Amino acid sequence: MVDIVLWLGLSTFATVILSQGIKLIYNWKNVSDIFQDGSFPSSHSATITCFNIVLWAEVINRIKILYNANLSVSDENQIIIFTLIASVSTFYGILVIRDAFGLRGNMQVNSEALNNISLFLVIWHSVLSTSIKDLSAPEIGEIRTKVGHRPIEVLGGMSLGAFVGLAALILMLKLSNLYMLLLIFPLFILVLSFYKYKTTTNVVSTAVVDAAK
């Protein structure tokens, strides 16, 4: 019981550190971004993915032991409790991931649109103020846009969580080194999604600069 709690704590903590570290590397010009929502990768998606992988691995391992040995009733009750916890955690994880690019993602899109409208109003005021004297400027504050995630950011978070979770699983169950090959797939998805995110961000930034000119 103590072992699984320890592994869950260590793996999720490592996931948070890695996800925020990647944000710091990518947004090194603005360190404050790592303490805000949004950006690549989604730390919520990474953490809940890692947590569920380690938790379900423990459930499956206990069920395997149960069928291979004569365990007591208390051991069976532990398996039932772990299965219920893992099921609830999975459902909660789906909600977190769906919320990251669903509700919060839509809020981010709407915030960006409102900021663009605000910018248009300020520009329009500057045009009118040249012909109309004593025209007061509109008091418009910028809305925080980094509240959600794009699907590519969520995919990056899930792949990072899967990488750390599988690594913790291999160490926790003391599996052979051949299982390390399983880490290649989530690592490949993480690198690919980061490249896609970086490319998309650069294209959008270039388009904004061109439009401003």
pLDDT at 211 > cutoff 50: no
- Summarised one tens digit per residue, pLDDT across range 10-34 is 999 999 999 888 888 877 666 665 5
Q: Residue 17 falls within a domain, yes or no?
A: yes
Q: What confidence tens digit (pLDDT) does each residue in 144-182 have?
A: 656 667 888 888 999 999 999 999 988 888 877 777 888
Q: Which domain holds residue 21?
A: 2-106+148-212
C-beta separation of 132 from 156 below 8 A = no
Rounded to an integer, what distance in angstroms lies between the CA atom of residue 194 and that of residue 67?
Answer: 42
116 in a structural domain: no
In the chain, how many domains are there? 1
Identify whether 198 is part of a domain.
yes
63, part of any domain:
yes
The pLDDT of residue 62:
79
Question: 172: which residues sit within 8 A by CB, 6+ positions away?
Answer: 3, 4, 7, 54, 57, 58
Domain presence at residue 127 = no
